[in-house]
Structures are given as C-alpha cells and as structure tokens.
Amino acid sequence: MSIESSDQVLDYPLRAPAPLEPPEEWAKLRQGCPVAHVRLPSGDSAVLLTRYNDVRQVLADPRFTRQLGKEGAARLSEEGGSVFETEEAASLTEGHERWRRLLHKSFTAKRVSAMQPRIEAMADQLIDDMVKQGAPADLVAGLAFPLPVWVICELLGIPDIDRDKLAYWSNAMLNMSQFTRQEMDAAQAEFSQYMMTHIAAKRAAPGEDLLSELVAAVDDGHPLTERELMMIGQGILVAGHETTSNTIAKMMAMLLGERHRWEQLVADPSLVRTAVEEVLRFDANAGFGLPRFITEDIEVSGQKLPGGTTVICNMAAANRDEKAYERADHMDLTRSPNPHLTFGVGPHSCVGQALARTELQTTLNVLLRRLPTLELAVPPEELARREGLLIGGLERVPVRW
Amino acid sequence: MRIIVDVEKCCGAGQCVLLAPKVFDQRDDGIVVLLDESPAPELHKAVREAACVCPGAAIRLEEQA
C-alpha cells in the first residue's frame, strides 16, 4: 500500500487493548503499511514508521531533523508546548553538540558504574520505608517515582533535604493531566529560582558533582552561562526522571504480571542484565515515539516522502518487528544480543542510557534480593496507564510480598 | 577477530565498555577507545554483542576463518 493510495488515516497515538499490550494495528502496519498516514491530536498529518529497519534508518539520518518548530511541521498537540516543540527544545537542539560533549563526561560507563553503590543504597533505603509501612504498597510512589529524582539530585549535588521539592517540581513541570497551567508555571518559576541559587553556591564552593564540573568547564573558550547551566539541570530532570520512573514501574508490572518471569529471575539473578534489555525492547506503552521533520524528498521503505513531511518513528513497534527478532512478540529474559531502539540510535541517542540501565538493573537486583516473594496486588489488566510526555507509564503498581 | 572502531560514528552510549571492558574504554567525552584490536577468543562473544547493539554502528568486526 503506498501512502498515496492508503485511504485510511489512523488517529495517533493508537489505542492499546490492555495496559501492557501493544495496539493491534502495529503488526498490520509493519506487515502491509510501513509508511502510514496518521492524524495527530492537533489535527495535523504525519506519517508513522513501524518497521525496525525504517526506524533505525531514519533516526540515524541527519536529514530527518528534530526541528518540529519549523514552518510546515506538524504540531503534535493542539495546545502545542510539548517537550519537542518548546523554545527550550529548540535551544537544546542548537546547543546540542556542545552540551552533549560536556554531559558525556558524567555519563560514561565508568562514571555511571562508580555511582552504582550509591544507587543501590538509595533503593535499599526506599524499600526499607516501604517494608516498614507494610503491604500492600504502591511501587510507583514508594520506589519508581522517587529513585530517579534522588539519583539526579546526587548528580547535580543537590542536598538530600531538597529531594522532595525537586520531585514535586519535576512532576508538576511535566504532568499536564494532574496539574493546572498555573501550578505548572509556578513549579517552573520555583525550579529556575532554586537552580540559579544552587548554581551560584556551586560557583562559590564547588563539590564533586556534575554541576560543579559544568560550572568550571570551559568549552570553545567560553564558560557556560547561568542560564545554560540551569537549562542543562532542567534537561537532565526532564529527560531522566519521568522516563526512568515510568520504566521502573512498567518493568515491575511486566515481570510480576506473568509470575514465571519473576520466578525465573529469583532463581537466576544473573539474568538481570539481559532481562532489563528485554524489558526495554518489549515495553508496549513506550509513548509517542520520536518525531522528525524533513525539508527535502527522501525515500523510506521504497516510498518517496515529500519535503515538508513530519515523520513519527515508533521505536516500540519497531522493537517487535518479526523481521528483526525471532519470536518478537515473546518476552525472553535471556535474549542476547538485543539491539532494541528504545534509546534511539545515532548521534542523538539517549546520552543518559548507561545511567538508565544502571538504575533499572540496580532496582531489579535490590528487589530480587529484598523481596523475592513480591507479587502484584491487582490483576495486570487493572493497572491504569499514565500518559507521559516522553514515555508512557502506569499510575500505580500495587504490590504485596 | 579484528576490531575496527569509527570514532566519527561513536555516540558515546558506553554499551561496549559495559559489555567488554577489557576491549573498549571511553575518553572523557564518551568517545570510544579501543584497548585491544584483536582480543582473545573468550572475549569474542561479548565483542560481537557490543558490535551488534552499538547505537552508532561504530564497531566493525573482521572475523578470520
């Protein structure tokens, strides 16, 4: 089916039949309509890619730009202001190479591995509190939501006493469904104010943290401005909190939702590394995908996409492509190698992926060690999805042990 | 096995370092450093996995018969 002749325009995002299940359309689209016309919540048109090779090709090709603010690019939602479209996103893109180079220092595999014992201690502390309060407990509120904020606070040298404030601001800045516009703006203002004060304190008395390093860093002969430093702090919070929190929640739901998976890990915790990669591949509630915009004609899957097209890369659909994976619709905790597309590919792939992996692996290891009898306290089909800005999540994951 | 890395393609994800730390390292800015271009056979499996999952497709392997 060519895009010219496809008569059906799907509403995007597609709906899933159950919280942990993929939309039924994915398999059909991969099979028969790899370049599908979709209508976004704004009413604007885009094309949707669902095949592994296509998504991989497009994400690695710089002609597929991230300039969603350009004239002619589809608006994602009616209100606009999504994380992909804001001024901040645009300036993040412009400063991308420079900041990325600086950020890489903190996110190398070695640096992240050195943080692992601290992450483990934080997970233990959160689980202590959860156990103290007794079962049933909500894994989201007790562990998945706070842990990544604690890790980011550690990274930014923010004192433990301010963790809860950061968690609130992060949640309010991102969560359109639970907060009013006013609350979101107030959170943004308070966060900016806090960070400016914090940056000044780090300038006066540097510590061992990432922010102190960035304050001291000189790139291309110029130190970073206060505003750039603030934006990096916010970027780390936006990119590292909701995404990791939601993934911890979904990971536990996927593993406990079919108990033999959890039991396989209890019996053999050495599978944690490959299990985490498979969780990342298998996540059907991964959210919107990555939008790209082209200004020239480019061919994908044998079809010419005209300049001015907005392209949505659905990594989660691509991760289940039968042509890329054996038994793609089967969750195999021993799968290896597992070149999933969840963190993107190419120069824009997730800079924090080593940290995310370490957080996920550590959380899983600590839960296996502390609570091997862990189980869901509700049937998996009763878990409620949360619509995230970057990736989807679950409202609550009730558990007992 | 001979390993060729392309620093231009490397995006600093660090997967190779986590999988085969005796073979790969990262510079300060995240870019790959090849420690051993023809690693011992017991490392081949990990190196093949690293090449396969590299998000920048920056690791190429020449496997001798």
Any idea what the Cα angle at residue A120 is, between residues A115 and A122, rounded to 5°? 95
The end-to-end CA distance of chain A, in Å, is 51
At A393 the three-state DSSP class reads strand
| pLDDT computed for residue A83 by the predictor | 55
Calculate the average pLDDT of chain B.
Answer: 95
How crowded is residue A377: how many other Cβ atoms within 10 Å of its Cβ? 18
User: Span B2-62: which CATH code?
Assistant: 3.30.70.20
Q: Look up the pTM and report it.
A: 0.93
From first to last of the 401 residues of chain A, give the pLDDT tens digit. 444 445 579 999 999 999 999 999 999 999 999 999 999 988 999 999 999 999 999 999 999 998 888 889 998 776 655 555 554 554 444 455 667 777 887 889 998 999 999 999 999 999 999 999 999 999 999 999 999 999 999 999 999 999 999 999 998 887 766 788 888 889 999 999 999 999 999 999 999 898 998 888 876 677 888 888 888 888 888 888 989 999 999 999 999 999 999 999 999 999 999 999 999 999 999 988 999 999 999 999 999 999 999 999 999 999 999 999 999 999 999 999 999 999 999 888 888 999 999 999 999 999 999 999 999 999 999 999 987 666 789 999 999 99
| pLDDT computed for residue A176 by the predictor | 61
| pLDDT computed for residue A264 by the predictor | 98
Q: What is the pLDDT of residues A236-246, one digit of tens each?
A: 888 889 899 99
Residue in the structure block whose two tokens are 């993929």: A22
CATH number at residue A138: 1.10.630.10
Distance from CA of B35 to the nearest CA of A (A): 15
DSSP conformation class of A142: I
- State residue A143 phi and psi, 5-degree precision: -140, -55
The upper half-sphere exposure of residue A91, i.e. CA atoms within 13 Å in the direction of its Cβ, equals: 11
Ramachandran assignment for B49, one of left (phi > 0), alpha (psi -120 to 50 degrees), beta (any other): alpha
Domain count, chain A: 1
Give the chain B residue nearest A61 (alpha carbons): B56
Ramachandran assignment for A48, one of left (phi > 0), alpha (psi -120 to 50 degrees), beta (any other): beta
Amino acid identity for residue A70 in this structure:
K
| pLDDT computed for residue A7 by the predictor | 58
- Tell me the C-alpha distance between B47 and A90, whole Å: 37
| pLDDT computed for residue A2 by the predictor | 45
- Tell me the C-alpha distance between A95 and A90, whole Å: 9
* ipTM here: 0.93
Closest by CA position to B5, among listed A275, B17, A140, A391: B17
The upper half-sphere exposure of residue A399, i.e. CA atoms within 13 Å in the direction of its Cβ, equals: 28
| pLDDT computed for residue A224 by the predictor | 84
**Residue A41 is part of which domain span?**
10-400
* Assigned token pair, A55: 């998504």
Give the chain A residue nearest B48 (alpha carbons): A337
Q: Is A339 on the interface with B (CB under 8 A)?
A: yes
Distances in whole angstroms, Cα of residue A173 to Cα of each of A82, A83, A140, A180, A238: 11, 10, 18, 10, 8
Within-domain flag for A4: no
CB contact under 8 A, B52 and A105: no
Within-domain flag for A2: no
CB contact under 8 A, A350 and B30: no
Q: What is the pLDDT of residues A54-74, one digit of tens each?
A: 999 999 999 999 888 888 999
DSSP for A61-115, please give it: -TTSB--TTSTTPPPSSSS---TTTSHHHHHHHHTHHHHHHHHHHHHSHHHHHHH
Within-domain flag for A329: yes
Closest by CA position to A254, among listed A238, A265, A242, A267: A265
User: Do A38 and A26 touch, CB atoms closer than 8 A?
Assistant: no
CB contact under 8 A, B26 and A338: no
Strands A137-138 and A290-293: unpaired
At A170 the three-state DSSP class reads helix
Closest by CA position to A66, among listed A366, A344, A355: A344
| pLDDT computed for residue A227 by the predictor | 85
| pLDDT computed for residue A379 by the predictor | 96
Chains A and B form CB pairs within 8 A to the count of 67
* Assigned token pair, A116: 């692992």
Closest by CA position to A242, among listed A311, A317, A162, A177: A177
B-interface mutation test, from A104, A107, A290, most B Cβ less than 10 A away: A104
Q: Which of A60, A336, A349 sits opposite B13 (nearest CB)?
A: A349
